[in-house]
Amino acid sequence: MCLGPKEQFHPAAVIGIAAGLGPIAAFGLAGAVGGIATLRGSGRWAPLVYVVAAVNIIFFPIGTIMGYVMLTGLSRYLGSVERIRGAVREDA
């Protein structure tokens, strides 16, 4: 179904699409920022991964396992990054 040049979407359809895509975009942005921050070892932005982990636990069966690993392992990972950075600074 393709809309012609003079046809328009019904306002309720536009609102429904926007309401559905807004949270998806927000979770995607939080996941991207949190994932990049985690890879870079940034403790400030990495907790945004928790938002994505919570969504995975709620909505996806395999996400339950992935979300649990993210929720329990992030603090240990960031702690190890800080220990490695401290050791590198002492060596320099």
Q: Quick one: which of 50, 57, 56 has its CA closest to 75?
A: 50
Q: In whole angstroms, what is the distance from residue 23 CA to residue 6 CA?
A: 30
Decide: pTM greater than 0.75: no
Give residue 28's pLDDT.
Answer: 80
Residue with more model confidence, 32 or 67:
32
Query: Any idea where the domains of the chain sit in the sequence?
Result: 11-91
For residues 77, 80, 84, 85, the Cα torsion angle rounded to the nearest 10 degrees is: 70
Q: What mean pLDDT comes out for the span 56-65?
A: 72
Q: In whole angstroms, what is the distance from residue 43 CA to residue 25 CA?
A: 23
19-55 pLDDT, tens digit per residue, is 878 888 887 888 788 778 877 887 787 777 777 777 7
Tokens found for residue 21:
């895509």
Give residue 78's pLDDT.
Answer: 80
